[in-house]
């Protein structure tokens, strides 16, 4: 199967419309129709139920859509990483903006001090995007925070585990407590983070899209939230924290695509786990 065929099929399967898919692919509709039927004939599998009015996926077609997307991602990642490897011998590390605390600089310093260390470019992105960046080859390695991020399909090493604290303005009614439980926070509206598609789920809390914005909202008394305790080192005045005893523990892991353990990456991982 050629990637061209996969691209064609994925386009048709997503649009469920040969005309639109052909337009998206920058080609005419008839060759696209032919390409898909050839693919079906070569696989010996019906991928689409067609009537002259509508197109629908068969069971097998749904499988090929899922698997084909992953395969196309893998090909794109191969190309991107190859290009990056030639123009820049370094690594690209991705982390959530504002979430890395002191671990990240320590790790980078420790790695930079090693013989044979390569430059590490740090990319900060929104929550939930790290996986996509790793999968399609724009990044080599990521810092993830369990249990929030998923490590599906990645190799990982645990770096640290920490408890969580409630972050609030200094004058907040809960700021005098020495510790809290989740039940104390039952009726607090949580800030809402964007979904993968960039939209927000409905709810009472304020919409936020990065940690800076969140901390500013907290300063203004418009929000409170529970964050890993390492956030305390980067809080400005006017904010205070109280431990939340039964909040889930947050584990920071370093994660990378399983097949891509280059020498440089192995060094960085090793440096990270030694901290």
Out of 19, 30, 38, 79, point to the residue binding a second copy (CB under 8 A): 79
Out of 37, 151, 160, 260, point to the residue binding DNA (CB under 7 A): 37
| Residue among 41, 51, 71, 47 at smallest CA distance from 61 | 47
Out of 36, 99, 257, 268, point to the residue binding a second copy (CB under 8 A): 257
Residue 3: CB minimum distance to DNA, A: 11
Q: Considering beta carbons, is residue 34 or 42 the nearer one to a second copy?
A: 42
Q: According to the binding rule CB under 8 A, does residue 86 interact with a second copy? A: yes
Q: According to the binding rule CB under 7 A, does residue 42 interact with DNA? A: no
Out of 9, 18, 111, 256, point to the residue binding DNA (CB under 7 A): 18
| Residue among 194, 239, 204, 201 at smallest CA distance from 97 | 194
CA 158 and chain centroid, separation = 17
CA–CA separation, 229 vs 162, rounded Å?
7
Q: Considering beta carbons, is residue 19 or 105 the nearer one to DNA?
A: 19
Residues between 48 and 67 that touch a second copy (CB under 8 A): 58-64, 66-67
Q: According to the binding rule CB under 8 A, does residue 114 interact with a second copy? A: no
Stretch that binds a second copy, among 95-103, 216-224, 233-241, 251-259 (CB under 8 A): 251-259
Q: Are 221 and 169 in contact (CB under 8 A)?
A: yes
Indicate which of a second copy, DNA, none lies near residue 251 (CB less than 5 to 8 Å, by partner kind): none
Which string of x and - marks every residue 144-183 that binds a second copy (by CB under 8 A)?
Answer: --------xxxx----------------------------
Q: According to the binding rule CB under 8 A, does residue 35 interact with a second copy? A: no
- The SS3 call for residue 252 is strand
CA–CA separation, 126 vs 35, rounded Å?
38
What DSSP element (H or E) covers 101?
A: none
If you search the block for the tokens 């949580």, which residue do you land on? 190
Indicate which of a second copy, DNA, none lies near residue 78 (CB less than 5 to 8 Å, by partner kind): a second copy
235's CB contacts (< 8 A; 6+ apart) are 167, 215, 241
CA–CA separation, 72 vs 57, rounded Å?
19
- Between 29-43 and 18-25, two packed helices, what is the crossing angle to 10 degrees? 100
If one counts every other C-beta atom within 10 angstroms of the C-beta of residue 155, the result is 17
Quote the DSSP letter at residue 172.
-
Q: Considering beta carbons, is residue 61 or 205 the nearer one to a second copy?
A: 61
| Residue among 43, 10, 275 at smallest CA distance from 143 | 275
Q: According to the binding rule CB under 7 A, does residue 52 interact with DNA? A: yes
Q: According to the binding rule CB under 7 A, does residue 34 interact with DNA? A: yes
Stretch that binds DNA, among 53-61, 97-105, 107-115, 182-190 (CB under 7 A): 53-61
Q: According to the binding rule CB under 7 A, does residue 35 interact with DNA? A: yes
Q: Which residues bind DNA (CB under 7 A)?
A: 4, 17-19, 26-31, 33-38, 50-55
């Amino acid at each position: 199967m050629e990637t061209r065929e996969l691209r064609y099929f994925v386009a048709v399967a997503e649009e469920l419309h040969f005309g639109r898919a052909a337009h998206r692919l920058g080609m005419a509709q008839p060759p696209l129709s032919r390409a898909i039927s050839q693919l079906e004939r070569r696989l010996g599998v019906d991928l689409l139920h067609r009537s002259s009015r509508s197109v629908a996926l068969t069971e097998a077609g749904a499988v090929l859509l899922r698997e084909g997307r992953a395969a196309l991602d893998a090909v794109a990642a191969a190309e991107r990483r190859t290009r990056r490897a030639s123009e820049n011998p370094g690594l690209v590390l991705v982390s959530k903006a504002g979430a890395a605390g002191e671990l990240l600089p320590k790790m980078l310093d420790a790695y930079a001090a090693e013989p044979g260390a390569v430059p590490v470019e740090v990319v900060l992105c929104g929550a939930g995007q790290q996986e996509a960046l790793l999968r399609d080859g724009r990044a080599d390695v990521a810092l993830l925070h369990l249990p929030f991020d998923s490590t599906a399909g990645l190799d990982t090493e645990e770096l640290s585990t920490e408890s969580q604290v409630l972050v609030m303005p200094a004058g907040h009614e809960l700021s005098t407590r020495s510790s809290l439980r989740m039940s104390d926070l039952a009726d607090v509206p949580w800030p809402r983070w964007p979904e993968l598609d960039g939209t927000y789920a409905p709810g009472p809390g304020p919409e936020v899209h990065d940690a800076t914005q969140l901390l500013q909202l907290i300063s203004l008394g418009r929000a409170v939230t529970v964050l890993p305790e390492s956030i305390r080192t980067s809080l400005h005045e006017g904010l205070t924290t109280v431990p939340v005893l039964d909040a889930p523990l947050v584990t920071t892991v370093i994660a990378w695509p399983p097949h891509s353990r280059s020498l440089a990456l192995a060094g960085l991982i090793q440096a990270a786990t030694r901290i």
